[in-house]
Amino acid sequence: MNYLKKRKSAFGYALKGLKAFFRDEDHPKFHAIAGILAVILGFSFNLNSIEWIAVIFCVALVLSFEAINSALEQLTDIASPSYLESAGKVKDIAAGAVLISSVAAGIIGLIIFVPKFLEILP
Ligand SMILES: Nc1ncnc2c1ncn2[C@@H]1O[C@H](COP(=O)(O)OP(=O)(O)OP(=O)(O)O)[C@@H](O)[C@H]1O
């Protein structure tokens, strides 16, 4: 019972974190909108299971990296409020992780959706 209570609190904290993440920052909103568009396109083009797995994985991966990047940015600001080269490096590397996942997601999106758009062209 105690274990279940603890799990419930942990879930609540995670939801609280996600709420702050989407409320306080612009990049997550942009990536969430892109993800919603991908899901709408997925339903429109009747994706198969493998394509759905790829789309859901890409959306989750980009948003997760974005959340980790955001947490690292805030932690860096607490640890190093004044200018420090290594603090900047931490932020740049975390931003690089978001860039890698976004580019990969974009390429996978093109691989899945471009042939489907070409099929419906007159
Ligand atoms: N304390 C610091 N010391 C050195 N360089 C920093 C520091 N804080 C930020 N920078 C540099 O400035 C860049 C922008 O940092 P900032 O905290 O403004 O993030 P951001 O890219 O504006 O994030 P977001 O757009 O999500 O708000 C960093 O990637 C880093 O190169």
User: Domain containing 92 — which CATH number?
Assistant: 1.10.287.3610
For residue 34, how far is its CA from the centre of ligand 1 (angstroms)? Answer: 24
Structural domain range at position 34:
25-114
Q: Is 119 annotated as a binding residue?
A: no
- Total of domains in the chain: 1
Within a domain: residue 10?
no
6, pLDDT greater than 80: no
Ligand 1 pocket residue status of 91, Cβ below 6 Å: yes
In a domain, 6, yes or no: no
Residue 1 has pLDDT above 70, yes or no: no
Region 52-78 average pLDDT: 98
Terminal Cα distance for the chain, rounded: 61
Average pLDDT, the chain: 95
As a whole number, mean pLDDT of residues 3-26 equals 90
- The verdict on residue 57 lying in a domain is yes
Q: Give the tens place of pLDDT for each residue, 23-37.
A: 998 999 999 999 999
- Residue 1 falls within a domain, yes or no? no
pLDDT band (50, 70, 90) for residue 83: very high
DSSP structure class, residue 26: S
Atom of ligand 1 nearest to the CA of 84: 3
- The answer to whether residue 51 is catalytic is no
Q: Is 46 part of a structural domain of the chain? A: yes
**How many whole angstroms from 92 Cα to the centroid of ligand 1?**
7
Is position 8 within any domain?
A: no
φ, ψ of residue 45 to 5 degrees: the values are -95, 5
Give the mean model confidence (pLDDT) for residues 79-102: 97
| Domain-located, residue 5 | no
CA distance 59 to 91: 22
CA 112 – CA 57 distance, rounded (Å): 13
Instruction: Name the residue at shortest CA distance from atom 30 of ligand 1.
Output: 88
